[in-house]
Amino acid sequence: MADKLLSRYEELKALVNSHNYRYHVLDAPIISDLEYDRLLNELKKIEMDHPDWITSDSPTQRAGARPADRFEKIRHPAPILSLANAFGGDDARAWLERVKKLDDRVEQAKFVVEPKIDGLSVVLHYRDGLFVQGATRGDGEVGEDITSNLRTVRAIPLRIPVDSKGPKPPKNFVVRGEAFIPNKEFEELNRKLEEAGEKTYLNPRNTAAGSLRQLDPVLTASRPITLLVYQIVFSEGGKIPTSQWEILEYLKALGFPVTDIARRFNDLESAIQYTETFNEGRDALPYEADGMVIKIDDLNLAADLGFVGKDPRGAIAFKFPAREVTTTLNEIGVAVGRTGVLTPYAMLEPVEIGGVVVERATLHNFDFIAEKDIRVGDRVLIKRAGEVIPYVIGPVLDARTGKEKTYKPSTKCPACGQPVEHFEGEVAWYCVNAACPAQLVRNIEHFVSRGAMDIVGLGIKIVEQLIESGLVKDVADLFTLKKSQLLELEGFAEKKAENLLASIEQAKGQSLNRLIVALGIHGVGEVMAGDLSRTFGNLSALSKTSVEELQQIEGVGPNIAESIVDWFAQPANQKLLKKLKAVGLWPEMKKDEKKKDGAFTGLTFVVTGTLPTLSRDGVKEFIEGNGGKVTDSVSKKTSYLVLGENPGSKFEKAQSLGVKILDEAGLKKLAK
């Protein structure tokens, strides 16, 4: 029985690793996310029962290590070399002439062209096919041990060959690759950070390097880092190919991610020609590349050619012209994001960078402008890389004339003119006007969403239609819509209009908690909305409260208290409240409608992962029904973490803070 389970366990490890490889390396999954989760859950279940079976190549071992105090040093088994640069075809030709003089075989040499990705060079160690250690390049002799961080990178195989039919690697095997964040993922990451009011990253390279060189693997795991492998640094106890082209094929067969744009050529001219096409078509690459590498294919010949300092003679970095230029910053504009975040941008004297005329570049946030002392009228250095939005690197101080003006951010939202707000601990400034036109689509989407007013049938398309037609200027306008107006909109027939009006009407019966959530006050989620409803009973009372009074409520700190008071102080929001009252959306809650007392009174719970029987809402109801409280993030004040399958980083955090952990059964027992 145990034997059978053990072999199922081995099978599951191989299966999950192989699907992982298909997804992250080949970009060609053959099962759905759901099926993948099922396999992973089965595997985790076995590991819970048999922790002694767990091996380092189990896919569950990718994230989970504790933060380190510092990185250990690792001596590389062979020097991790650099490359000499060539700036254009003539430089490359001169390189070949030089090496031809050193060795006759160069005359017949073939060349491999690969992308030179701008990321972080990493060195991966395998013993008997198992990933055992990973390091940064460091000074080329000694690097830093970042094994726990690299484990979280899904594209790195934990065991090779990934496919059992693949070749068996040498006993000791060390490869090198470039770790990076693809441009699209970088933009997505920044978009999320911006929405959360957090500091955005300046560029993909620094983000990848920073994420791999910080001490908490849980953070690394949350960054979309991937890699491409291109070199065997060391091997012992097995044969490896002797040409670069075959090395790439071999690495691929082992299950490593390898570039698919590498090509082999019989002469340098063709290699240069191919390289040039990428200079022109750089934007099509999904990552930042600062050039292409041209390598002599015959690795024995390349090794015999030796080095100049740290640069091997057998290869050359064909650099693309840098996409950095200086231009004048004419003015600083401010964009309002859908969540109300204000992002400053530079309006530039138009300038061409790599075939594209750039007139605008992001300035990230107001702190950045202050830190770099960027002034209006400055000459500024701009970078454009791949599809990433062009950004300002900083001012050219030598070019200052004294006429530049220090920038003072406006205290008003550029879209609606209402005062802007700043929240403690965040870098962003916000417009918190619920009717700000720049945020209206998003605000209405939030207002009608399931956790808020739960108005069914009001999707984003319809919201956009309602705004465009001028029928809706704030959320209160939804409640005065007429059937005749809806029928004039494209795609609306009798039935659809009637259904929508009916579900809007129904929303008037929603509770005060839900309405408070729906208003979208910064920092106020479901739990707090419940507390506020019970304390104040209606929106008039809440709107008259003070920061001091709010702080009497458990869980309300000074920041949230201030955010609530500020929200109600905004004239635009007061106007909105009047309108809501006028349309009959004014729920009350009896103030004495006390929270139910029960076994969990005074206890705070955080839930992570999927529970066997209770849904997200179900477990919340269960806890609150027993007088407990559910919050989103783990802190020292958390009484219990309720742990399900596939937990997130909350699990780590709870462990590190020593928070007690329960499963669903344990939770139910506790209630008795």
What residue ranges bind ligand IVH (CB under 6 A)?
A: 81-83, 114, 116-117, 121, 178, 230-231, 293, 312, 315, 317
* Interatomic CA distance for residues 340 and 271, integer angstroms: 50
379-382: list long-range contacts, CB under 8 Å, 24+ apart.
Answer: 379/326, 379/327, 379/328, 379/329, 380/326, 380/327, 380/328, 380/329, 380/346, 380/348, 381/324, 381/325, 381/326, 382/324, 382/325, 382/326, 382/327, 382/346, 382/348, 382/351, 382/353, 382/358
- Nearest-approach distance from CB 277 to ligand IVH, in angstroms: 17
Could you give the angle at which helices 616-625 and 664-671 cross, rounded to 10 degrees? Answer: 20
Q: Which residue number, 287 or 366, has a Cβ lying nearer to ligand IVH?
A: 287
- Nearest-approach distance from CB 117 to ligand IVH, in angstroms: 5
Closest CA to 114 of 262, 275, 250, 6: 262
Cα→Cα distances 247→241, 242, 310, 458, Å: 6, 7, 22, 55
Q: Are 129 and 163 in contact (CB under 8 A)?
A: no
Active site residues: 116
Q: Which residue number, 114 or 297, has a Cβ lying nearer to ligand IVH?
A: 114
- Nearest-approach distance from CB 231 to ligand IVH, in angstroms: 6
Retrieve residue 424's tokens.
């403690």
Retrieve residue 666's tokens.
């344990």
Q: Which residue number, 261 or 657, has a Cβ lying nearer to ligand IVH?
A: 261
Q: Which residue number, 81 or 335, has a Cβ lying nearer to ligand IVH?
A: 81
- Nearest-approach distance from CB 294 to ligand IVH, in angstroms: 10
Q: Are strands 324-336 and 379-385 parallel, antiparallel or unpaired?
A: antiparallel
The residue of the chain with the least Cβ separation from ligand IVH equals 121
Q: Which residue number, 117 or 369, has a Cβ lying nearer to ligand IVH?
A: 117
* Interatomic CA distance for residues 344 and 366, integer angstroms: 7
DSSP codes joined into one string, 603-665: -EEEEESB-SS--HHHHHHHHHHTT-EE-SS--TT--EEEE-BS--HHHHHHHHHT-EEE-HH
Retrieve residue 221's tokens.
């795991």
Q: What is the DSSP letter of 323?
A: -
Q: Which residue number, 77 or 598, has a Cβ lying nearer to ligand IVH?
A: 77
CA angle (221 as vertex; 343, 430 as ends), nearest 5? 20
- Nearest-approach distance from CB 603 to ligand IVH, in angstroms: 51
Cα→Cα distances 120→127, 523, 611, Å: 23, 37, 39
Q: Which residue number, 300 or 499, has a Cβ lying nearer to ligand IVH?
A: 300
Q: What is the DSSP letter of 296?
A: E
Q: Are 237 and 172 in contact (CB under 8 A)?
A: yes
Q: Which amino acid is at 464?
A: E
Number of residues assigned to the chain: 672
Retrieve residue 568's tokens.
């109600």
Lookup result for tokens 């390097």: 209
Q: How many CB atoms lie within 10 A of CB 255?
A: 24
- Nearest-approach distance from CB 275 to ligand IVH, in angstroms: 12
Retrieve residue 184's tokens.
């699209």
- Nearest-approach distance from CB 177 to ligand IVH, in angstroms: 8
Q: Which residue number, 212 or 643, has a Cβ lying nearer to ligand IVH?
A: 212
- Nearest-approach distance from CB 315 to ligand IVH, in angstroms: 6
- Nearest-approach distance from CB 228 to ligand IVH, in angstroms: 7
Q: Which residue number, 83 or 475, has a Cβ lying nearer to ligand IVH?
A: 83
Cα→Cα distances 649→330, 458, 609, Å: 44, 33, 10
* Interatomic CA distance for residues 300 and 30, integer angstroms: 40
